[in-house]
Amino acid sequence: MCDCPHSPQGGTILLPGHTNVTKVKLPVTQENCRPVAPILARVGDKWSILVVMILSQGPRRFNDLKRNIDGISQRMLTLTLRGLERDGLVTRTVFPTIPPRVDYALTDLGHSLCVPVTGLGKWAMANIDTIERSRAEFDARSED
């Protein structure tokens, strides 16, 4: 529980001791954000998040992933897996069988992504009712 005083609107009142609210060592600039943007784009797209969450349960074959991700095309799954592999989040292992068997699995880096993704999912579940109410209120105001 926060021991900070709260404003009547529900926010936290900024006291003089609260001026250093971030612990970022570098100032946030366009130069600092540029290399991060493509990484956030990769891990933030809906297909990558779904693939990572399914692979967090263990290695899967391509068709198993496709069956478990509603609405993804074969091409989009291929592109998503290729991008995740390129970024070092997923490994692709080909087994010399007939027909060849290919398994996809998370790397250690991929597993570390499960922590923030799970946190984001929990946040979304905890706030879905509030967000849906806000959307309905916004849409009602926009119709006028």
Residue 103, pLDDT > 70, answer yes
**Predicted pLDDT at 64:** 96
Q: What percent of the chain stands above pLDDT 90?
A: 54
How many domains would you assign to the chain? 1
Domain containing residue 134: 31-143
Residue given tokens 């946030």 in the structure block: 28
Has residue 112 been placed in a domain?
yes
79: confidence class by pLDDT, cuts 50, 70, 90 = very high
CATH of the domain at 125: 1.10.10.10
Has residue 127 been placed in a domain?
yes
Has residue 132 been placed in a domain?
yes
**Predicted pLDDT at 62:** 95
What are the two backbone dihedrals, phi and then psi, of residue 104, each rounded to the nearest 5 degrees? -115, 140
Has residue 81 been placed in a domain?
yes
CA angle at residue 90 from 73 to 84, to 5 degrees? 55
Per the prediction, the chain carries an average pLDDT of 83
Measured between alpha carbons, how far is 79 from 86 in angstroms, rounded to an integer? 10
Has residue 138 been placed in a domain?
yes
Q: What percent of the chain stands above pLDDT 70?
A: 81
117: confidence class by pLDDT, cuts 50, 70, 90 = confident
Q: What is the pLDDT of residues 4-58, one digit of tens each?
A: 444 444 444 444 444 454 555 667 777 777 888 888 878 778 899 899 989 999 9
Has residue 11 been placed in a domain?
no
**Predicted pLDDT at 26:** 63
Structural tokens at position 110: 């991929």
Q: Cis bond leading into 27, ω under 30°?
A: no
**Predicted pLDDT at 57:** 92
More confident residue, 20 or 63: 63
For 15-75, the DSSP string reads -GGGS-----SS---HHHHTTHHHHHHHHHSHHHHHHHHHHTTS-EEHHHHHHHSTT--HH
Has residue 58 been placed in a domain?
yes
**Predicted pLDDT at 6:** 44
